[in-house]
Structure 1
Amino acid sequence: MSTDFTNITESASLYDHLEEKSTLELLTDINREDHKVADAVEVVIPAIADLVDDILPRMERGGRVFYIGAGTSGRLGVLDASEIPPTYGMPPTLFIGLIAGGDYALRHPVENAEDIADQAWADMSAYDISEADSVIGIAASGTTPYVLGGLREANRRGLVTGGITSNPGSPIALTAKHPIVTIVGPEYVTGSSRMKSGTAQKMVLNMISSSLMIHMGRVEGNRMVDMQLSNKKLVERGTRMLMDYYGWSHDRAQAELLEAHSVRAVMDKHPK
């Protein structure tokens, strides 16, 4: 694999002798570095917007978003995908997170799983892929074969592809139709891309999925009106949404909510 690019994620930390630092010094240093992440994400907002706007019309005609990654990157994709159903009341088949090594790899390292270049497409093929689908590869290094192979095959088949990486000029940045390159700099612990790079990935994934769900009509005003009422906290949140929206008492709002089973259903029943 070509390495004709500056591998920032493997560059030496700007700090040294970490083992000699106090806890307060360590935390202060890490926080100082974390401040750089939001700035790095801000730079790539236009690229994120282009990706979202390319995915949206496909999603509106039934397309899905696949996140593919290995290790921390894969776990973050699975995390973002898994939060869509409870937050927006969408089926778990709309955003699908795939990690090299399968679900076992969510909790355990799976040796060499990320090095199998054709495995991501094999994993996606179980979902009857169509041209309406989109694939977002996540890899801090920008070199992960699992991700790169999946993006190349998706490109070949005409899917929308995005790539989230921290290394400009990396193979994934050059392969994805929509590269999103968050240049966060060297990690505090050299090579530990679960730190700043992982934080940047989490931010970008939140932006992509949240923007798509808002465009898909899953938010009213600023309210998650389709969230699943799966615990007491969420029932209370929905109750307070209705209290604020209608000026109802707590008892009436909660009774209406429990009868209708969603905030949206109550709002449809009582249009303002």
Structure 2
Amino acid sequence: MSTESPSYFDHLETLSTHHLLAGMNSVDQTVPQAVAKALPQLEALVEATVARLGKGGRLFYIGAGTSGRLGVLDASECPPTFGVPHGVVVGLIAGGDTAIRKAVENAEDDAEQAWRDLEAYNINDQDIVVGIAASGRTPYVIGGLEQARKHGLATGCIVCNAGSAVAAAAEFPVEVVTGPEFVTGSTRLKAGTAQKLALNMLTTATFIRLGRVKGNKMVDMQLSNAKLVDRGERMLMDELGIEQDAAATLLRQHGSVRAALDAQKH
């Protein structure tokens, strides 16, 4: 596995802070290039996801450790960003929610647990399951994907090694091959960054395709703090050519940018 290969750097403990940072930055610059090579695979996964969610299905992430946390993060950001209900995108991590903050010993080695976790959500063949695993060999993810396919669900994955067992278990694999880490085997670094980029692209492209963005603006975002209210007002000002006081009034009346824009059309 290239993610476990020795770092191109050595004697890290002897390096200055400047050289540590410069070294990490130099290898991080290879990550977008690795993601670019996986765009055709990612396109297929987006299309499959759009098809399921467009018919009322859900997107489930399964992962362990850093990969699981990134899935939970991406899922948690979809409702405020795109205004979709909680539960449309669900992140599951080996060891349960406790593992988001604290590692749960051996949780990722249970090949049966992911399907049990998915069954708790009454998962069905309208849904899609995406496994996230830098190594591509996590039993929790492999088992979950295998059971999902057995039950007729669409499956995808995001991995950072070529030819992995996780990719073999998925119908729509995305392989972002990031190579050796700055600290050997520390996949929270380049691999984690690559996974975050891929997840950003997956859900953002999906919800744009599903009509949750207008022009280039998040018209369905939740107005959950002053910054977002201000952003919403500026969207209305730009779209309608009105002053901020009028935009604020419209936003209060209708509760979202999209609703305010729709009201002005009728």
**2:8: which partner in 1?**
14
- 1:173-203 C-alpha deviation (Å, 9 max, x unpaired): 2211111111111000000000000000000
The one-character-per-residue Cα deviations of 1:118-172 (angstroms, maximum 9, x if unpaired) are 1000000011111110000000000000000000001111111111111111111
Is residue 2:176 matched to residue 1:182?
Answer: yes
Q: CA deviation at 1:229?
A: 0.4
The amino acid of 1:14's aligned partner reads Y
Q: How does 1:124-163 map to 2 (within 5 A)?
A: 124-163=118-157
Unaligned runs of 5+ in 1: 1-6
Runs of 4+ in 1 over 3 A off after TM superposition: none
Q: 1:55 corresponds to which letter in structure 2?
A: T
- Determine if the alignment matches structure 1 residue 115 to structure 2 residue 105: no
Does 2:203 align with 1:209?
yes
1:32 aligned to which of 22, 26, 36: 26
TM-score using structure 1 length: 0.96
State the Cα distance separating 1:79 from its structure 2 match: 0.1
Q: CA deviation at 1:213?
A: 0.5
For 1:163 and 1:61, the matched residues in 2 are separated by 21
SS in 1 for 2:265: coil
| Structure 1 residue aligned with 2:35 | 41
Matched, 1:73 2:35: no
Q: 1:218 — aligned with what?
A: 212
Give the distance between the partners of 2:9 and 2:132, measured in 1 at CA.
Answer: 27
- What number of residue pairs does the alignment pair up? 266
1:71 deviates by 0.3
Across the aligned residues of Structure 1 and Structure 2, the Cα RMSD in angstroms comes to 0.9
1:33 and 1:153 map into 2 onto residues whose CA distance is 36
Aligned with 1:191: secondary structure? coil
Structure 1 residue 169 corresponds to structure 2 residue 163: yes
Contact 1:78/1:96, CA 8 A, preserved across alignment: yes
